[in-house]
Chain A
Amino acid sequence: MASTVIGAGITVEGEITTDEDIVVAGTVRGKLSAKEAVTIEHGATVEADVVGSSLTVAGALTGNVTANERVDLQSGSRVVGNVKASRVTIADGALFKGNVDMDV
């Protein structure tokens, strides 16, 4: 279990920074920055620029994404924004609008 969880029903407006994993099941507006993995769960709403080592999205994300390792947009996710990571996967059924930059 991640050490930081923004549970469903919680809204954070502002900036979140952490050295650990973070799981978002609620709403985050502003900025989200983690040294470890970021998970945006199904039902979550994130309107923020996201920085992390890796990012897994199953919910809704609006904002630019920068990940050191990988970004996985799962089926059912909805992402609007630019994605920058060395590895990016977009599952069948994921909605995505934005640029992808994979350090080619």
Chain B
Amino acid sequence: MAANGTIIGRTTRVRGRVTGEVDLEVQGFVEGEISVGGDVTVDTHGLVGANVRGRRLVVRGAVKGDLVGEEAIALEEGARVVGDVRAPRVAIAPGALVRGYVETGDGAAGSARATRAAPAARPVVAPKAAPAAAPKPVAAAVSAKPATMAAAARPAASSLNDGGAAANSTNANASHGANHAGGRRPPPPVVPALKKAKGQIAKKKER
């Protein structure tokens, strides 16, 4: 909880840029770039339809856009991320869904300032990932069509097995099991609202 910082409440929609040097908690909807010097929390009900930059990012909600953390990124259970994830330390907890390129290490946050050049279809094994973030296929094995959203993340993981990517099959299985760990329901797919958000952004640019 951002103690005396900024909270975008459950029913609040922000269309535009959010910048600053303090902490930010998103429980509602932000359709526009977030760039803050403090920590960013995207809560369970939070939806962000743009890139997010902060010191430490904690995601329990949905993000469609690139995540850049100056120090660390934690994708917790329920997180749904479609986009690249870059930070010195990245933790992806069981139950978090990611589709995109993940880069950890000291160069990650810096190189992310460059444009999103990397093709978003390369499985990455996090070198310094915390135990909770044991290497995951990151659902990137399938050439990512953003429109299909993270709902396709699990099918993508299992397709690793069929696709003859034997080396990755253990990872795929691990993540597959993790998603169902403890009999918990897997998080819902990234909500269609984000698709709409993309359209709205596009419309905005046209004007």
- Which residues of A are in contact with B by a Cβ distance under 8 Å? 2-20, 22, 26, 30
Contacts and interface: CB of A to CB of B under 8 A. Distances in A.
A10 B9 contact: no
Contact of A30 (B4, B12, B13, B16): B16
Contact of A18 (B6, B9, B16): B9
Nearest to A10: B20
Contact of A17 (B10, B12, B22): B12
B83 interface: no
A15 B17 CA distance: 9
B46 to A, nearest CB: 12
Contact of A12 (B5, B11, B17): B17
Contacts of A12: 14, 16-19
13 contacts: A2-B9, A4-B9, A5-B7, A7-B4, A7-B6, A7-B20, A7-B22, A9-B21, A10-B19, A10-B20, A12-B18, A14-B14, A20-B11
A4 B8 contact: yes
Given A16-B13, A26-B20, 13 more contacts: A3-B7, A3-B10, A5-B5, A5-B7, A7-B24, A9-B22, A11-B20, A12-B16, A12-B19, A15-B16, A16-B15, A18-B9, A18-B13
A27 to B, nearest CB: 8
Contacts of B16: 12-16, 30
Nearest to A4: B9
